[in-house]
A and B are shown apart, each in its own frame.
Chain A
């Protein structure tokens, strides 16, 4: 391994993009909605369903309102980045491909201790689960590695292999930063060097205050109900449009599911959802996710000819 070590956060992202592009993945852009994790991107949730082969990689900005710490905690953020790879069917050498990506960002297995430690993944909100590992590098979790078994209540056939990298934590380790805000975002030799903190310290403060103290819960509850109703309305619409084309609107409906999920996260951060209600809300989002999955598997993108009634 003769590569130079990465010098900045964006260098790590660029290397991952180049590496996975080199492995034949379509390098997508982030989904333009607020999500809790890269898995919510329809390129993962929906595309892991159905028979059509798929290979995509992308950065996904992710929001977890309860994790906000006003930018003070060295590792915790309410807004952070995940790098996500999804390949269907999972190739037999996916572990080796993954290890290649670590080498590409400077984690050489000749010097580091890289291990696959059991971690079964389950997303109650997406009605999804899979088996795999968390990948440890020198005792630190640097990725989730999952073979999807079920999504939205549907068996995954074929099985997708999913890789999720927590970019900040991974980069902090590679770059030797002790506090996320001190990590160089661009090249520290640039004319205008910017740290992660230069870009995100203030937004972490603002969103932490908003999420914990200010978000209007009445409005959020109403929006949750609206998103839920809209999702169901879209899915219950006639499959034939006014010109007689069969168009199932799985993606627009799924947008509403994503919205409901994020609204729930905000309500949770405001502390207005009790323990028992929590389960009920998660169940409501899961019901939406399942309906969206039911709709998607009947579409062309899942590998079903649109003209063919199911």
Chain B
């Protein structure tokens, strides 16, 4: 059983690609080996900046011979069919066997493929892996055509068994496989010949290369924490950075430095971000003060001066970087102290949010209006929420966020405090972006909640209005995350808000802003539009435009408008309005002249524009996201569907409360049995209603009851009604459902004792109306027809 060792030695592989490349190499090669008929005991992949390594243990020496039988056509089949079979098997007619089959004599092809030796298979699999490796980005170099992440220099590929190591004969684009590698770029010289994986790993270590990234990470972390401890500091944990740094070095050497006193007053987030992003330094915190006072850099080499020169250089670069950061910080503070956050935000009027959704300032205006609407529902003061909304994005204009976009929000909170704004406003600067992901915290401070909801709902409505919804795996504007954010904000805080109403409000603001923008453009270029419209209406007698002409007309408009979407929109709105309002059009001319003369006129929203159906569509998107969210919490989708069918389904808190109660109810025996009873009821009733062509919906009278079980059921339904209706009013779903559970025994007894479809039509009708009461009571709690299984 030989062991296989593969090393692909190249110029520096980007750190962020190494983990994936290890997995890919292992999967592609082992899948290929197994696919070719070999088996193996174990495999492990490793990487350093300059090499990708795979060790496969206990590989079989050759693949087993394969015997394959294929049934062909009958011996009496047409010649063409038999020839086709010969072609597909590569045999001659003499080589076929004839066997008896149920339907007579049939040709059989029996093919044996001899086993293949491991080296041959390995060579083939590895060459395929190299040529088709799924690097996220790959390149050519020199005059060759091979693609690799960076120039590939050598291939080590050996099979080792008890007789020793054997190089697998293989060459890819002139690079022949061998049994040598190289050590550290600077701390080792010459080629290293290896005979097995253990030999390879040991010799690399002597040549100053730690092969295993996990070992490099562990070494960096241990050395860094020890050095920090000795200096009375602690390392700020950063797993992502640790993995990245481990991918940048073959021989990690930890060096500790102090941050100059000039920079210690910078916010810790600024120090950490600057050091991590620019220098890939770990931050060191003083456990007593919480301040960031030092750093750890990881060099890739040992030097005679124990890293003194390296540390000095790093310190110098850091000082230059932090001088920049300090300059930004002081500049920004000066700005907020003189013109305030609102002054800082002024420039956002010139920053485009999206070319169809206006500027950042437009966006902020919408968010502030919506935050004001939402505020009372989350226990925030409307004025404060609106004030917060106006400044939470001001820091996008700060020098610091310009340099470090990931500090958006964080800097806003600092600057808001520096200006002396109320603490809830300062908190909202950072918190309104939250939750940023499924594991991020949900803000709970009311002003933050109001602005966070307004921000996310505005974003969703905007992209819905311009038809940029997520499709499949494409979600460039992170709208799924925004919707999940709304859901978590609502549920996490028990907020009672109608997302339909809130999004309708936001859609109206978007549409209002769009109309305003159109009006402004129209006013600037009135004459051109008059010409354009005249041209579009040219062939018509008067204004006899019909809807049929519509799409054709709109295509014309867009052709005229070229790339300028807003011009198309203005003309389109005008056209649509003329069609729908022929009398007004006759009196005023176009829509835009009409609204100018009638500023109080209701905004005209064309049929396929915002507000019509968009809020409902967005609500169902929320519902889909909610299903995903609740499924992760163990609530079945059909339970949610049963609740979605009930009124008030845009109140997500209510919806989830109902779903949780229903899910718990269905887990009980009573719930399960009541569901059976409900189904039986519903089936009998539905069939009878279909057959009779009437709806049995009222009029069940106890005086027509023949059986005791019937009378008991009447009484039970009266009791249930009396409990369920007030419980539903009070949104006490648990009480309502336990009252419903009490129906189980009477319903079961009823079905056991009586035949609904009695021969007596009066009794039959009365019983069907009784069933209808059961159905109505059950459906008042949730739509049980949606429950599956």
Contacts and interface: CB of A to CB of B under 8 A. Distances in A.
Interface of A: 74-75, 89-92, 95, 109-118, 120, 130-133, 137-140, 147, 149, 156-159, 161, 173, 178, 274-276
Given A92-B153, A118-B15, A138 B317 contact: yes
Contact of A139 (B142, B301, B314, B351): B314
A91 B142 contact: yes
Nearest to A173: B313
Given A159-B140, A275-B352, 17 more contacts: A89-B141, A92-B151, A110-B186, A111-B309, A113-B313, A114-B301, A115-B249, A117-B12, A118-B12, A118-B14, A120-B137, A130-B139, A140-B314, A140-B317, A156-B140, A157-B140, A158-B142
Contacts of A178: 316
A90 B313 contact: no
B313 A137 contact: yes
- With a 10 A CB-CB cut-off, give which of B16, B279, B307, B316 has the most chain A CB atoms: B316
A147 B141 contact: yes
Nearest to A158: B143
A165 B303 CA distance: 25
B351 A275 contact: yes
A147 B305 CA distance: 34
Interface string B135-174: 0011111111000011101000000000000000000000
Given A95-B11, A118-B16, A131-B137, A113 B142 contact: no
A130 B137 CA distance: 10
B49 to A, nearest CB: 7
11 contacts: A74-B320, A90-B151, A110-B304, A115-B249, A131-B137, A138-B312, A139-B297, A139-B318, A147-B151, A275-B351, A275-B352
A139 B141 contact: no
Interface residues of B, number: 45
Contacts of B225: none
A147 B307 CA distance: 31
Interface string B106-117: 000000000000
A47 B11 CA distance: 25
B643 interface: no
Nearest to A155: B140
Given A95-B11, A110-B304, A275-B351, A138 B143 contact: no
Nearest to B49: A116
Contacts of A89: 141-143
B310 A138 contact: yes
A131 to B, nearest CB: 4
Contact of A159 (B137, B141, B186, B316): B141
Interface string B294-337: 00010111011101011011101110100100000000000000
B139 A274 contact: no
Closest 3 CB pairs of A and B: A138-B313, A118-B14, A139-B314
Nearest to B140: A159
Contacts of A118: 12, 14-16
Contacts of B350: 274-275
A117 B303 CA distance: 20
Contacts of B138: 131
A211 to B, nearest CB: 20
B11 A116 contact: yes
Contacts of B141: 89-90, 147, 159, 161
Contacts of A131: 137-139, 149-150
Nearest to B15: A118
A95 B310 CA distance: 21
Given A75-B320, A117-B248, A140 B11 contact: no
Contacts of B249: 115
Contacts of B525: none
B317 A139 contact: yes
B687 interface: no
Contacts of B16: 118
Given A116-B49, A139-B313, A139-B317, A149 B140 contact: yes
A110 B184 CA distance: 12
A111 B279 contact: no
B309 A112 contact: yes
Contacts of B151: 90, 92, 147
B355 interface: yes
Nearest to B17: A118
B150 to A, nearest CB: 7
A113 B15 contact: no
A75 B317 CA distance: 11
A110 B299 CA distance: 12
Contacts of A120: 137
B300 A92 contact: no
B12 A133 contact: yes
Contacts of A95: 11
A275 B352 CA distance: 8
Contact of B355 (A75, A140, A156, A276): A276
Q: Output the residue of A131, A137, A178 with the most chain B CB within 10 A.
A: A131
A52 B310 CA distance: 41
A75 B327 CA distance: 14
Nearest to B249: A115
B303 A116 contact: no
A156 B314 CA distance: 36
Contacts of A110: 186, 303-304
B49 A111 contact: no
A303 to B, nearest CB: 12
Interface string B1-29: 00000000001101110000000000000
A160 B120 CA distance: 36
Given A110-B304, A115-B248, A120-B137, A138 B309 contact: yes
Nearest to A276: B352
B297 to A, nearest CB: 6
A139 B320 CA distance: 12
Given A111-B303, A117-B248, A139-B279, A147 B313 contact: no
